[in-house]
């Protein structure tokens, strides 16, 4: 079974060494220095800078991007930060962390800029302990004394002390479509059917706090918990919604829930589908990816879905302002604006700041300050700022604000300081956490059996805090984002500059080229030095080459023959 809908996987994967073969023209071995990343071309915006080091441009990433974020950086060297939320008093960020296949609840004090609590998530259950963490959450109660944390097979409740930021687990609600003893409830294996782990995701309280609603990403349902404050809370009922529900918000009057469905609407007979968690998803015949995205409208009094509103592909984040609902469509770089009074889309906004760019921006979080809508665009390491003047007045892009690597949350925090904005960045400054020791047995060569250095799992995450700039500051931030992403090169590349072989580089994005296919062979979880450190070319260290030429002769042969990037 292939899973193409972007549901959360319970087994996270990390950085890779890649070998790329470009059919009809080249085979390239991917290396670790950005300086060589443009080897055969006549330009090199990254000079001789090395990935991970800080220069006047900022920290250089392996993705050929700099990061030079706005504001103050609070660095977490223990983990990636995959999702977060602000405490109601504005003092704390509660984040879901991930490192070495284990999840954590991390509390960051924004005033002291320190981590004040760090709890490993290890919920015992048959057939295995749940160490996972969700892609959404956590969620605070309105008084800030309760915190909900979703895993794969459990939803955890913590009591929270807003005076010192400590969290203590008080309950665990099992969420699996079968008895916990069944193999399909194992949180350490990928989702396979709708009767397995239900993958709780986004959550919302009713306006009076008496009910908790939970999107069950793996079960295509909205769960209702009638008394979340009970000593032993449990799911009271479930409501079928669209495919792969991700987030949920409740209307101000408490009568209606809106649920974003990553996998879109249910399939009808005769449509091409691809399975995701046992659910047939209406899919593209070439890619297998979902070709619909919807927002479910749920009548909470009747406990039924009454409508699915078509939006863009892979709708994820939701943000509600009164009766206006903003929807981030992550897989087609757009933002849908919905009028909840009539349950219809009034406008769709492009969230890719470079028209025609093939690499997506991946909108994944939304908030609002005054008349400005802030949209996290993860792949561009930026917050896009739009002006909003009403449901039917076209939103306009005001500019971009630079962040650390891959922002996943943006929220205003006026209680911290007037105008302050808090951004959570999944990958922080890259794999620059404490060095790790890798031991792969006595047959490594020429590197030692034990090698200690930075590896692909030495993750970091970060939180950046800044006052929202005026328009002049937004324009300065826009220029920084353009420089950090090297977007100044897009125009000359599109026009064929630096092309030493005529028409290999198309004159425009999407134009034909003699290169017809690119095959990428992924070598998972290994650094450049571990495999090619003994190559004698590029920037490698033979002492770290645990899988050097004696063990990987084919990879080395490709590198010698076609060159190293």
Percent composition of the chain: helix, strand, coil (DSSP 3-state, to 5): 10, 45, 50
Contact 97, 106 (CB under 8 A): yes
- The encoded tokens of residue 256 equal 């209606």
Q: Confidence class of residue 27 from pLDDT cuts 50, 70 and 90?
A: very low
User: Structure pTM?
Assistant: 0.87
First to last CA, the chain: 34
Work out the pLDDT band at 448, boundaries 50, 70, 90.
confident
Question: Percentage of the chain surpassing pLDDT 70?
Answer: 86
Determine the pLDDT at residue 502.
54
Which of the residue ranges 23-32, 214-223, 359-368, 482-491 would you say has the lowest mean pLDDT?
23-32
For residues 243 and 351, give the distance between their C-alpha atoms in angstroms, rounded to a whole number: 24
Structure tokens at 542: 């033979």
Average pLDDT of the segment spanning 375-400 = 97
- The answer for residues whose C-beta is within 8 angstroms of residue 129's C-beta and 6 or more apart is 122, 123, 187
Q: In this structure, what token pair is assigned to residue 503?
A: 């028409």
pLDDT of residue 46: 73
DSSP notation for 136-178? S--EE-TTSSEEEEE-SSEEEEEEEETTTTEEEEEEEEE-BSS
Region of residue 514 (phi > 0: left; psi between -120 and 50: alpha; otherwise: beta) = alpha
SS3 382: strand
Q: How many CB atoms lie within 10 A of CB 295?
A: 26
CA–CA gap between residue 380 and residue 366 (Å, rounded):
15
| pLDDT exceeds cutoff 70 at 503 | no
Of residues 492 and 56, the one with the higher pLDDT is: 56
| CB count in 10 Å sphere of residue 243 | 27
Q: Is the pLDDT of residue 345 over 60?
A: yes
Average pLDDT over residues 477-502: 72
Tell me: cis bond preceding 138? Omega within 30 of 0 counts.
yes
pLDDT tens, residue by residue, 296-336: 999 999 999 999 999 999 999 999 999 999 999 999 999 99
Residue 7: its pLDDT value, please? Answer: 38
pLDDT above 60: residue 501: no
Least confident of 15-19, 277-281, 502-506: 15-19
- For the residues of 506-523, what is the DSSP string, one character each? -SSTT---S--EEEEEEE
Q: Is the pLDDT of residue 209 over 90?
A: yes
Distance, in Å, from the CA atom of 497 to the CA atom of 481, rounded to the nearest integer, reads 23
What does the pLDDT read at residue 516?
79
pLDDT at 34 over 50: no
Q: Give mean pLDDT, residues 272-293.
A: 93
Alpha carbons 293 and 109: distance in angstroms, whole number: 37
Average pLDDT over residues 145-159: 97
Q: Rounded mean pLDDT of 213-220? A: 96
Distance between CA atoms of residues 284 and 266, nearest Å: 15
d(CA 39, CA 484): 20
The angle subtended at Cα 220 by Cα 216 and Cα 226, nearest 5°, is: 50
Q: List pLDDT tens digits, range 426-443.
A: 999 999 998 888 888 888
Going by pLDDT thresholds of 50, 70 and 90, the confidence category of residue 26 is very low
Residue 36 — very low, low, confident or very high, per pLDDT cuts 50/70/90? very low
Q: Hey, is 378 helix, strand or coil?
A: helix
Q: Which of 54-63, 109-118, 470-479 has the lowest mean pLDDT?
A: 54-63
Please state the φ and ψ torsions of residue 542, each to the nearest 5 degrees.
-60, -25
Alpha-carbon distances, residue 157 vs 81, 118, 229, 244, 247 (angstroms):
19, 15, 9, 23, 18
- pLDDT for 30 beyond 80: no
Over 90: is that where the pLDDT of 214 sits? yes
What mean pLDDT comes out for the span 170-184?
93
Q: What is the 3-state secondary structure (H, E, C) of 226-266?
A: CCCCCCCCCCCEEEECCEEEEEEEECCCCCEEEEEEEEECE
Q: What is the average pLDDT value for the chain, to the nearest integer?
A: 87
CA atoms of 190 and 14, how far apart (whole Å): 16
């Amino acid at each position: 079974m292939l899973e193409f809908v972007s549901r959360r996987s319970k087994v996270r994967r990390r950085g890779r060494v890649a070998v790329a073969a470009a059919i009809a023209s080249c085979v390239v071995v991917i290396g670790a220095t950005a300086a060589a990343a443009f080897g055969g071309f006549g330009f090199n915006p990254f000079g001789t800078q090395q990935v991970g080091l800080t220069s006047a441009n900022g920290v250089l990433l392996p993705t050929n991007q700099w990061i030079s974020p706005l504001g103050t950086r609070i660095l977490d060297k223990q983990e990636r930060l995959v999702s977060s939320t602000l405490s109601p008093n504005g003092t704390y960020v509660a984040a879901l962390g991930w490192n070495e296949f284990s999840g954590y609840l991390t509390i960051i004090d924004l005033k002291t800029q320190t981590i004040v609590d760090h709890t490993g998530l290890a919920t015992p259950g048959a057939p295995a302990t749940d160490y996972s963490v969700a892609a959404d959450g956590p969620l605070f109660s309105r008084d800030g004394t309760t915190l909900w944390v979703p895993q794969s097979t459990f939803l955890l409740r913590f009591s929270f002390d807003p005076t010192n930021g400590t969290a203590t687990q008080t309950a665990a609600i099992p969420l699996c479509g079968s008895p916990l003893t069944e193999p399909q409830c194992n949180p350490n294996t990928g989702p396979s059917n709708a009767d397995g782990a239900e993958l709780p995701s986004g959550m919302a309280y009713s306006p009076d706090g008496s009910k908790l609603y939970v999107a069950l990403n793996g079960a295509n349902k909205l769960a209702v918990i009638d008394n979340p404050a009970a000593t032993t809370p449990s799911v009271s009922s479930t409501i079928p919604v669209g495919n792969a529900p991700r987030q949920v918000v409740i209307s101000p009057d408490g009568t209606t829930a809106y649920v974003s469905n990553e996998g879109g609407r249910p399939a009808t007979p005769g449509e091409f589908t691809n399975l995701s968690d046992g659910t047939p998803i209406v899919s593209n015949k070439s890619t297998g990816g979902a070709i619909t995205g919807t927002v479910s409208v749920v009548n909470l009094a009747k406990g039924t879905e009454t409508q699915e509103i078509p939006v863009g592909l892979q709708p994820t984040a939701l943000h509600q302002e009164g009766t206006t609902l903003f929807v981030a469509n992550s897989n087609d770089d757009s933002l849908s604006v919905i009028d909840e009074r009539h349950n219809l889309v009034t406008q769709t906004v492009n969230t890719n700041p470079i028209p025609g760019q093939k690499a997506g921006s991946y909108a994944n979080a939304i908030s609002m300050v005054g008349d400005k809508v802030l949209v996290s665009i993860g792949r561009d390491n930026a917050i896009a700022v739009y002006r909003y003047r009403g449901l039917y007045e076209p939103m306009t892009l005001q500019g971009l604000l630079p962040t650390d690597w891959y922002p996943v949350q943006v929220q205003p925090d006026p209680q911290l300081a007037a105008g302050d904005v808090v951004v959570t960045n999944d990958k922080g400054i890259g794999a620059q956490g404490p060095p790790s020791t890798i031991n792969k047995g006595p047959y490594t060569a020429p590197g030692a059996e034990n090698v200690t250095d930075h590896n692909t799992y030495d993750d970091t995450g970060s939180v950046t805090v800044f006052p929202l700039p005026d328009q002049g500051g937004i324009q300065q931030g826009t220029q920084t984002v353009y420089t950090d992403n090297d977007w100044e090169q897009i125009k000359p590349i599109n026009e064929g500059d630096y092309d030493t072989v005529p028409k290999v580089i198309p004159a425009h994005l999407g134009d034909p080229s003699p290169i017809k296919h690119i095959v990428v062979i992924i070598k998972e979880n290994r650094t450049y030095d571990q495999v090619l450190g003994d190559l004698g070319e590029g920037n490698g260290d033979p002492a770290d080459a645990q899988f050097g030429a004696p063990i990987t002769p084919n990879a080395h042969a490709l590198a010698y023959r076609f060159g190293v990037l």
